[in-house]
Amino acid sequence: MKLRLLLLALAVAIVPVSLPAADAPKPPAAKPERPETELEKTMSKMGKAWREVRKAARAGQLTPATATLVATVRTNAEAAAKLTPMLEKEKPAAEQAKFHAAYLAQLKKLTASLEKLEAALTAGDNTTAGRLVSEVTDVMKSGHQDFRKPDED
């Protein structure tokens, strides 16, 4: 009898804990996904190829075959020059032309560095190629700071 009474008391104590509370906070709703722009798609291709180049550079495995990845990055950088960053559209009309000119200059600087890197890799000059990988990385970071719209959290 005592055992039944103990089991009943335990069951009564557990039931309220296991039921969902009506006033419990609901999980936040997921942010609606915005479509990826053409520039974001182009930059994504660049980023994917560039990660492979940096990975090879860190491993000391830069080869003439790596030049094809650099060519992919360069081709996409040239394509990006024909596109407009979202941040430019948010600038006042008076600043848009200046912003776009600076954006194109940054891409031109990136393309020139990528061409040097591609030539060094093709020639098998890994010392120069390693230095150029670092230079291209710096140019990319600078471009992201100046021309990429901050992520909205």
Task: Give the mean pLDDT of the chain.
Answer: 85
Alpha carbon of residue 60 to chain centroid: 24
The architecture that CATH gives domain 37-147 is Up-down Bundle (1.20)
Give yes or no for a contact between 84 and 100, defined as CB atoms under 8 angstroms apart: yes
Confidence band of 10 (pLDDT split at 50, 70, 90): low
Distances (CA, A) of 105 to 41, 46, 59, 77, 80: 21, 18, 31, 12, 12
What CA–CA distance (Å, rounded) separates 100 from 49? 25
What CA–CA distance (Å, rounded) separates 114 from 105? 14
What CA–CA distance (Å, rounded) separates 70 from 17? 59
Is the predicted pLDDT of residue 87 greater than 70, yes or no?
yes
* Most confident range, picked from 19-23, 25-29, 30-34, 134-138: 134-138
Is the predicted pLDDT of residue 79 greater than 70, yes or no?
yes
Q: Which residue has the higher pLDDT, 5 or 138?
A: 138
Please choose, from the candidates 51, 43, 49, 27, the residue with its C-alpha nearest in 3D space to the C-alpha of residue 78: 43
Query: Sign of dihedral through CA atoms 69, 73, 79, 83?
Result: positive
pLDDT, position 11: 67
Is the predicted pLDDT of residue 18 greater than 60, yes or no?
no
Is the predicted pLDDT of residue 32 greater than 70, yes or no?
no
What CA–CA distance (Å, rounded) separates 52 from 121? 14
Residue type, 115: E
Residues 6+ apart with CB under 8 A from 133: 53, 54, 57, 62, 117
State the average pLDDT over residues 52-70. Answer: 93
